[in-house]
Each structure stands twice: as C-alpha cells, then as structure tokens.
C-alpha cells in the first residue's frame, strides 16, 4: 500500500490532546506516520496523491460497544456484510457484538464461528461478546476463562440482566480472577415484565403498561454494592433515568472502579416522541422523560457517563409494524450514531471533544483496546466528517439491511465523508 496524505483538516484526538488544523500521513502498513499541524502540502512529496479535507474534521474511528448483528440465526435482519457497510457510512470502525443470536454465543464452537464470519464477511473490526450464563438462562455461568482465551472481549447476557444476586456475585469474583469485563443490561425483570414504555403520564394516556425507572436503579444499586466485595471490571451497558445517574455519580465519587454507558436514543429522544403508538420507538431501556434526558446529558458532561452506544438492533418491518404490545423492541442506529451525537454539539449542550471521547478513546479504555486514537504508530482507523452538512434521515437511503430507524425524517447536521480502516479507504461518500 502506498502512503496516503490528507491535508487541511481539523483534527481532534482526545487521547493525545490533539485539536488543531493540519494533516495526516498514513504509511504503507496502514499506520499513522505523522499527524498534526506540521503535515501540510509543503512538506509532502510533490507527486504524491493528496486528499484535501477542506477544513472538515478528522476523528479517530468510532468504537460502538452495543451492536446486535443478527448472525447467526437472524441474517434476514442483518449480517456481518450489511452491518459493516452501514457502520462505515457512520464512521464506525469497531463494534462489540452482542451474543443474542440463534444459537447464542456461549461455547467455543460458536466463538470460532463468529470470529471466522466476522473476519471473512466484515470490513470493520468485530469484537464479539459471549453470554454470562448458558443459553442466557440467568442460572448457569458459562466457561468464562475458556471463552476469554478464545478471544472474547467481554461477557454479557445482552438483552437480559442477571437477576439472582448470588449468581452475579459468583460471576464477578470469577471475572476478577481472569481479568474479564462484565457488561450488564440493568433492568429488574420482575418490575419490567409486562412493561412497554416508560411508566408515567404518557403510558397512562396511551393505555400501555409502564416500565418504572426504579427497575433500572435497583439493578445498578445492587451490582455496585456487590462490587464492594466482588472486584471485577464492570460496565453498565446503558442507563436511562435521572435516578440511576445519581446512583452512578455517587458511586464514582466513592472510588469504585466501573464504567457506564448511554444509548444515543436516550440522549436524543424522550417519551413524548412516541406520539400515537410509534412502534419504531419501542426501545430497551425505554425512552423516558425530558428531565431524564437532560440528566443524562449532564452526566455525559461531568464524566459520570463514559461512553455512547448506538444500541443498533435491526428488526424487519413485519416485526415493527404491529400493535405496540406485539412489536419487536429495538432500532437500527449505527449509521446515525455520530450525526445524532453531533446534534448535542450543535445545540451547545455538549462539547465536541466530550462527544468524540465518548465514542472513541473512552470505549477503547473500557475494553482494553489500543484503538480510538491517532498517535504515531497506531492503526489509521479514522473518519473525515463534515460536521455542518445538513441532511434528512430517510429509511430508503439507509444502508443497514433493516430500516427500523427511530428518527425517520429527522433533520440532522453532520455527515461522514470518508472512513478508513488501517489506512484503507473503505467508504467514500462521493
């Protein structure tokens, strides 16, 4: 591979505290050779092929920590190939895939299958999770040590949380012994069993069973209490309420080592957006009040929340265009993750550096990956973004195999122009 040259760009690399106008040189190995204000047209070879970014932004490649692929078992919703193309269009270069497939990822043979399919069919970096419990039954712990040796990056039951405190404590202790990362979807299944949307005025008016915010708070409080005796690398997948953010903030100030994420859906939408039974906004965790949304934004600003995820969960139209009670839960969102996050910047709610940190270096730190930055010698995983380009979300223009976006017809500002992985230009919006 020949060296590549990108000049005249606004560069933001939070890990290396780099925020300046300049360029980047990518060597023949797909690594960053040089970056910053010293890289200009004046100090690169005269006959070199140069891309002028025209003052658009260079960001490190996004790491999305919560993605449902669909393969195996649900390929008609999404597969590694279609996911890869959708991710690249949104500047996402690495994803953490959830184990809620059919069959679930809870044994060595399934890990081998997922890694092979991810390598052969995907252009992006795939980091698979395995389940915490066999068949996601919440009862019998999987072979965490063996699965970690096979390359599993973290363990989670994905859509479900561990309800039994004794089992969760045992999992935490064992995870600590093998330095494994535990990711928990925080929701008390008994309190949320029949729930469809946030419990409150809207659920009452629509006549839909509600999911109380304490269902999330209870699990978070329990797990953080267990961490006092069962030390391990622990991550709350995504939170959605003001009550929970206060619990997280209090415990972070206590010195406990854990991390916490949030879905871009809960940062950008609230329960009022559901309107008259819009099933494409049936999500888990559910959209909550505007006060909850603003509390989450505050938590992002004060570093209580560490990362933002797309919670990309493709569903075909037949699964969504049903009554609210019967409709599938989830929305596709990997290609709109960055533009929606940039909306927070344009609305002067969150700084650009904080947004990019929550999408790149912070998830890399949580996962223990040498990704999410553009230091010399690092893999050249990056995107070039016009943060001001206006566009309207139309499902027919989305690349994901399923078109169940939660923001159909929403006006956004910011679009990915190019995406590189290890120096290879894999997406070009021309």
Name the catalytic one among 188, 223, 311, 386. 311
Q: Which helix (H) or strand (E) holds 345?
A: helix 337-346
Region at 303 (left for phi over 0; alpha for psi -120 to 50; beta for the rest): left
Instruction: Output the six-digit token pair for 331.
Output: 């929305």
Could you report how far apart the first and last alpha carbons of the chain are, in Å?
22
Q: How far apart are CA 241 and CA 237, in angstroms?
A: 13
Question: Would you say how long the chain is, in residues?
Answer: 430
Neighbours of 321 (CB within 10 A): 11
Burial of 166 (0-12, 13-18, 19+ CB in 10 A): exposed
Residue-wise burial string across 17-32, b where 16 or more C-beta atoms lie within 10 A, e elsewhere: ebeeebbbbbbeebbb
Give the residue from 334, 341, 332 showing the smallest Cα distance to 408.
332
Is 311 considered catalytic here? yes
Q: Which sign does the torsion angle of CA 217, 348, 265, 93 carry? A: negative
Instruction: Output the six-digit token pair for 256.
Output: 């406990």
The set of residues, in sequence order, having a beta carbon less than 8 Å from that of 10 and lying 6+ positions away, is: 19, 20, 21, 53, 55, 56, 57, 58
Q: What are the residue numbers of the active site?
A: 311
């Amino acid at each position: 591979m020949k060296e590549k040259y990108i000049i005249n760009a606004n560069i933001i690399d939070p890990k290396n505290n780099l925020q300046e106008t300049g360029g980047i040189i990518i060597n023949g190995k797909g690594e960053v050779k040089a970056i910053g204000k010293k890289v200009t047209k004046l100090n690169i070879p005269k006959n070199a092929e140069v891309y002028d970014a025209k003052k658009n932004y260079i960001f490190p490649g996004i790491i999305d920590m919560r993605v449902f692929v669909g393969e195996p078992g649900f390929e008609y919703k999404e597969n590694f190939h279609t996911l890869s193309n959708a991710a690249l269009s949104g500047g996402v270069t690495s994803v953490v895939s959830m184990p809620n497939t059919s069959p679930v990822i809870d044994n060595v043979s399934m890990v081998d299958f997922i890694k092979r399919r991810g390598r052969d069919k995907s252009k992006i970096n795939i980091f698979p999770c395995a389940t915490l419990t066999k068949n996601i039954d919440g009862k019998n712990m999987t072979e965490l040590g063996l699965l970690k040796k096979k390359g599993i990056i973290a363990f989670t039951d994905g859509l479900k949380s561990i309800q039994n405190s004794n089992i969760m404590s045992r999992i935490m202790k064992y995870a600590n012994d093998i330095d494994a990362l535990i990711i928990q979807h925080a929701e008390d299944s008994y309190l949320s069993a029949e729930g469809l949307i946030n419990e409150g005025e809207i659920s009452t008016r629509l006549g839909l069973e509600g999911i109380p915010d304490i269902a999330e708070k209870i699990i978070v409080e329990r797990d953080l209490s267990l961490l006092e005796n069962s030390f391990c690398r622990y991550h709350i997948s995504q939170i959605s309420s003001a009550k929970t953010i206060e619990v997280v903030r209090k415990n972070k100030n206590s010195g406990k080592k854990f991390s916490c994420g949030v879905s871009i859906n809960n940062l950008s939408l609230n329960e009022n957006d559901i309107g008259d039974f819009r099933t494409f906004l049936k999500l888990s965790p559910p959209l909550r009040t505007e006060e909850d949304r603003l509390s989450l934004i505050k938590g992002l600003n004060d570093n209580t929340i560490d990362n933002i995820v797309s919670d990309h969960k493709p569903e075909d139209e037949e699964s969504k265009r049903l009554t609210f009670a019967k409709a599938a839960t989830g929305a596709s969102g990997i290609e709109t993750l960055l533009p929606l996050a940039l909306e927070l910047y344009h609305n002067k709610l969150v700084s650009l550096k904080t947004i990019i940190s929550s999408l790149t270096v912070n998830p890399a730190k949580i996962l223990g990956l040498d990704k999410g930055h553009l230091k010399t010698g690092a893999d050249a995983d990056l995107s070039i973004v016009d943060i001001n380009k206006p566009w309207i979300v139309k499902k027919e223009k989305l690349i994901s195999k399923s078109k169940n976006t939660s923001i159909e017809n929403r006006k956004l500002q910011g679009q990915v122009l190019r995406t590189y992985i290890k120096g290879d230009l894999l997406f070009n919006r021309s």
